Structure 1
Amino acid sequence: MKTIIFAAALTLTTSALLAHSNSNETTPQEGAIVETVEVIELRFDMPMRITVITLTGPEGEVELTRETGLEPVPEFRALLPEEVVVGGYKVDWRGLSQDGHPMQGTFAFTVGD
């Protein structure tokens, strides 16, 4: 009986872990050095509802324009202002996976000359 309960618990735990969305790729890529950047993109293996996204640069927070609304999507896009200054940038995001679990992540890149 204990074996059956353990197997059921393991199956439920494994299924729950597999249900969360994972960030597969970002634009710019983590650690990239780019000449310019026009868009922030997050790509997931399952739809994700991005509820908060911030971009912080050398002069503080950078205003982003969401191209993607609040609906769950496998690819999120936000546009940057036309001019960004040289320096390091950090993207922080939070959202809800398709199964309703809160998710968050961060990545950084550098804009160089």
Structure 2
Amino acid sequence: AEMPKLKQSFKMRWPTLIPLFLLIGVLASGRTPYLAAFAGITGCIIVGLLNPFQRLRWRDLYEAFETGAKYALAVGAAAGTVGIVIGVVTLTGVGFKISYIV
């Protein structure tokens, strides 16, 4: 398959840059990173639903949220486990004992 010309590709895909500029704009205005992330994700969804060249179907959006939730659960479980281990090491004083031995 041949690569499309840069100008033609940019002409078709420029809306995908909107969420990036939105993210940078919100951060540059001094807002919180959480708000910037929310604005960027919302921009991605809107551009995906409205872009005629790469239209995102509602089913695709649902599947993306479902996959994201599954990965978030795995990351949350790992972070919770690390938090428990750090809490046990801190509360029992094992960390100080190990550092004293070393």
Question: Scaled by the length of structure 1, what TM-score is found?
Answer: 0.24
Question: Relative CO higher for 1 or 2, CA cutoff 8 Å, sep ≥ 6?
Answer: 1
Which of the two has greater helix per residue? Answer: 2
Between Structure 1 and Structure 2, whose CA radius of gyration is higher?
2
Question: Scaled by the length of structure 2, what TM-score is found?
Answer: 0.26
